[in-house]
Structure 1
């Protein structure tokens, strides 16, 4: 039984939120620290391993310190997952059934479409969050729309596609091959 678009979008939101929330401490431990007052990159401490980094980040604080500023990352990952998950199955069926592509070519094409929509759904979120230092997300979105027009939401798309495209394509190709087993 195939999922509806609404169900796939809901799954994408939930999966993106869960993945981002639980992976954020590891992601933030691997990224260089940024000083919010000067926006200069501070040299990373010499951690022995990822667990040492996590311990150091939460030392003298509560464990919840590991999730400080997780909101923007979670929202962006939710956007990526919604675009990625809602576009893959319809694309795969269309390319295989309507276009007559072989299974491998249909999977490759559908994974590229999925990567495109994953980037397309996350870039506006990133742009609104980058503008979002002053006000709510809706206010920031309206400011972007009024000052630069609707295409401004997609500035940085090529960079985001280059960032998320290959991992998404590899994920879907691996998923289909594991599913065959």
Structure 2
């Protein structure tokens, strides 16, 4: 959802409203898409990381029984923004990957049009 919707809407915005050229549109839209992918994925990555770091407490019990339990306990503790604690770092790691994906896809589509595939 964060990948496709943000890219398509950004392409329309940059091309139609700002009148940007093709290269600038692809780079700008892929940057926006990278940001939204990070924003959509980070809560799931946070829960996954918490589950991976689980250790038994003094009584021999785990803090969380499932991924859903981890998410609910985090929310109940009144910390919905805890999911986004390391957003800048995550965004710097994920956004370039997303950007390169869109840039390569755009180039592949150009080649396909050129050779009429």
Q: Do they superpose with TM above 0.5?
A: yes
Is structure 2 residue 61 aligned with structure 1 residue 142? Answer: no
Question: Over the residues paired in the alignment, what is the CA RMSD in angstroms?
Answer: 1.6
Aligned to 2:59: none
Aligned partner of 1:119 among 38, 57, 72: 38
The alpha carbon displacement at 1:138 in A equals 2.5
For 2:86 and 2:69, the matched residues in 1 are separated by 21
List runs of 5+ in structure 1 lacking aligned partners.
1-8, 10-82
TM-score normalized by the length of structure 2:
0.75
For 1:180 and 1:148, the matched residues in 2 are separated by 49
Is the partner of 1:91 in helix, strand or coil?
A: helix
For 2:73 and 2:50, the matched residues in 1 are separated by 9
TM-score normalized by the length of structure 1:
0.50
Aligned to 2:84: 154
For 1:155 and 1:147, the matched residues in 2 are separated by 15
For 1:179 and 1:125, the matched residues in 2 are separated by 31
The alpha carbon displacement at 1:146 in A equals 2.3
For 1:124 and 1:148, the matched residues in 2 are separated by 15
Is structure 2 residue 25 aligned with structure 1 residue 95? Answer: no
Is structure 2 residue 103 aligned with structure 1 residue 173? Answer: yes
Is structure 2 residue 58 aligned with structure 1 residue 128? Answer: no
Output one character per residue of 1:20-65: Cα deviation in whole Å (capped at 9) or x when no partner. xxxxxxxxxxxxxxxxxxxxxxxxxxxxxxxxxxxxxxxxxxxxxx
For 2:82 and 2:34, the matched residues in 1 are separated by 20
- Which has the higher relative contact order, 1 or 2, with Cα contacts under 8 A spaced 6 or more apart? 2
The alpha carbon displacement at 1:162 in A equals 1.3
List runs of 5+ in structure 2 lacking aligned partners.
55-63, 112-117
The alpha carbon displacement at 1:129 in A equals 2.1
